[in-house]
A and B are shown apart, each in its own frame.
Chain A
Amino acid sequence: MDAKSRVRIATTSLAGCFGCHTSFLDIDERLFDLVRQVDFDRSPLTDIKQVGDCDIGLIEGGVCNAENVHVLREFREHCRILVALGACAINGGLPAQRNHLSLASVLQEVYLTAPGPAGGLIPNDPELPLPLDKVHPLHEVVHVDYFIPGCPPSADAIWQVLTDLVAGREPVLAQRLIHFD
């Protein structure tokens, strides 16, 4: 395969725990097969900091702050196929458990009333992206082409979807790949 026909993949984690990325690494030595066919663009595994034009973008985690929105839009703009990877990307997951509370009350609990901390201030520097009121799933912000369920999706499920997409097939997940726990 020449450089042009190689498939280019980008991955990122928004409001996620990195468990979906860890599960992706659980493809173990299949990683070596994968990199024979694909190049990695922006990803926690590379030092590419800004996403370029890609065939496939995998996103873990929902959207919890202004920066997540920005990165998600950049991914949508640059990735031909965008995949929501795991429960957080699909419906907010654990971080969205704050959605029934006011953001202010959560910040207060953590920085002002939780046992321990001395200081009495809530971080507010302009370097910190503004947290959103609620944690949102990806598809509320951009169009998403595929959703891989699970917390995290198994390595086999991620492998199946990736190999299907790389080969230009419509991905199909057998029941055993989406049924667990």
Chain B
Amino acid sequence: MRTNLETAIGADKLRRVAIDPISRVEGHGKITLLLDDRNQVHQVRLHIVEFRGFEKFIQGRPYWEVPVMVQRLCGICPVSHHLAASKALDMIVGAHRLTPTAEKLRRLMHYGQILQSHALHFYYLCTPDLLFGFDCEASRRNIVEIAAQYPETAKKGVLIRRFGQEVIRHTAGKRIHGTGSVPGGVNKSLTIAERDALLADIYQIVQWSREAVALVKALHARQPALYNSFGAVRAKTMSLVGVGGEMDLYHGWLRGRDENGAILFDGVDYADYGTLIEEQVKPWTYMKFPYLKSFGPETGWYRVGPLSRVQNCDAIATPLAEIERREFVDYAGGTPSQAPLDYHWARMIEMLCAAETIKDLLHDDDVLGSELTVSGTRAEEGVGVIEAPRGTLIHHYRVDENDLVSTCNLIVSTTHNNQAMNESVREVARRYLHGREITEPLLNHLEVAVRAFDPCLSCATHALGKMPLIVELVDADGNTVSSLRRD
């Protein structure tokens, strides 16, 4: 059986199973399944169930409030929203080229964020699945048990994350929802004492990040067949790359590749994202479905995030991460890896790249400078794009002559991955659940696929709601047979 599993025929005769909420992800989401009386899977959906409406209520607010307000969409990667909005507003205030100090402080803040978010995701949320196995009993699948069984690993994860948060605190003013970036630049640079405090720890962080990559590789080597195939679906990819084709998570242009790794577009100015991407709305989730216009909604969907970025760029500028990138690309063997579990490997390579980049920036005296902002000719419209921990983040604003926001459009990272996540969950359902009696560990397999993407279901609810992840089983009479909740 290989139907697309998105929409069942005769849904009223099927039984519903829900995973609600999806746990160990950031934000709220649920998964629902429809099965027949022989446990054949007919429908699988990942839903975002909360709606917020940011695009509407930001209208009429003064533009300089935006970088601070918009962070409240997401407390996991607030810096990404802070900076994407700032970049869009740089265009509004005519700041086409920031001072070296401002640009480098923003980069420092951003790579601090990449470091903390990747550490949070890998150590706090995913190691329980990866170290104990997907079938491990639910009560043990958490960071507390990791701390008990693998205390050194847990400790490193906590301390890498702490360091990233400290980079953010020194550049943004506080760890969560800081105010360091403003339209046209930043409002503070580092003091020598702050720089030295970070320098004292960074070498240890680089070393632990190398160990993190080694850990993922060891896990992969233990079960290559599982890691290479679990939830794998062929997809196009998209990300920013630097203007020389290198990995750059702060700035660059858009590059896309097809399922075989061939370039579809390159060098696209991100302000023109609207010529590339369109979004579709489906009635069963608040999260929209973006796709490449030239392919249409059926085949135009694509993946973003670490797995895309590590394979989309030509090189990584920092030496240790570049060695790891080459090994990753060589392992995949000429065609791109399409395996969600490889997100973890790619993510740890990025974490290493972030640690090395922070080290280099701390050695650059521009971060101590005092030229903080610039401005130029005022414009009415601005687009800011950044590679957030989970993928490409697009902010787009128009500002009227009274300095008030008139329109706002956001496409957050997780939204780009909407179709890809749904397809991977369907693939896992086909492979592991189809025709079998549903058990809690089997349901966890679906969550493992979702977690690999590191979705931020919190950002994804900016539209008008919030995203719980649920899986429910409904019988042929439409009764909920089991709404699998793990207690």
- Counting CB contacts under 8 A, is B487 at the interface? yes
Residue-by-residue, is B444-473 near A (CB-CB < 8 Å gives 1, otherwise 0)?
100000000000001000011110101000
Our pick among A13, A17, A110 for the contact of B51 (Cβ within 8 Å) is A110
For chain B, the bracket of interface size reads 35 or more
Residue-by-residue, is A147-181 near B (CB-CB < 8 Å gives 1, otherwise 0)?
00001100100000000000000000000000011
Our pick among B50, B55, B176, B485 for the contact of A15 (Cβ within 8 Å) is B50
Cα-based distance from A125 to B72 in the complex (angstroms): 27
Number of interface residues of A (CB under 8 A): 64
On whether A119 and B76 interact (CB within 8 A), knowing A26-B176, A98-B53, A128-B49, the answer reads no
In the complex the two chains form, is A17's CB within 8 Å of B30's CB? no
- Counting CB contacts under 8 A, is B38 at the interface? no
Nearest-neighbor residue (CB-CB) of B485 within chain A? A49
Our pick among A49, A64, A97 for the contact of B50 (Cβ within 8 Å) is A64
In the complex the two chains form, is A98's CB within 8 Å of B57's CB? yes
On whether A101 and B283 interact (CB within 8 A), knowing A19-B177, A29-B159, A106-B464, the answer reads no
Residue-by-residue, is B107-137 near A (CB-CB < 8 Å gives 1, otherwise 0)?
0000000000000100011000000000000
Q: How far is the CB of B174 from chain A (nearest CB, A)?
A: 7
Nearest-neighbor residue (CB-CB) of B457 within chain A? A18
Nearest-neighbor residue (CB-CB) of A22 within chain B? B75
Nearest-neighbor residue (CB-CB) of B140 within chain A? A47
- Counting CB contacts under 8 A, is A114 at the interface? yes
In the complex the two chains form, is A98's CB within 8 Å of B56's CB? yes
In the complex the two chains form, is B53's CB within 8 Å of A65's CB? no
In the complex the two chains form, is B466's CB within 8 Å of A127's CB? no
Chain A residues contacting B55 (CB-CB under 8 Å) are 109-110, 114
Residue-by-residue, is A88-107 near B (CB-CB < 8 Å gives 1, otherwise 0)?
00000111011001010111
Cα-based distance from A140 to B354 in the complex (angstroms): 44
Q: How far is the CB of A74 from chain B (nearest CB, A)?
A: 12
Chain A residues contacting B155 (CB-CB under 8 Å) are 29, 32
In the complex the two chains form, is A118's CB within 8 Å of B49's CB? no
Q: How far is the CB of A125 from chain B (nearest CB, A)?
A: 4
Given contact pairs A21-B75, A129-B50, enumerate 7 new A-B contacts (beta carbons under 8 Å). A19-B71, A31-B158, A46-B141, A47-B444, A116-B274, A123-B283, A125-B284
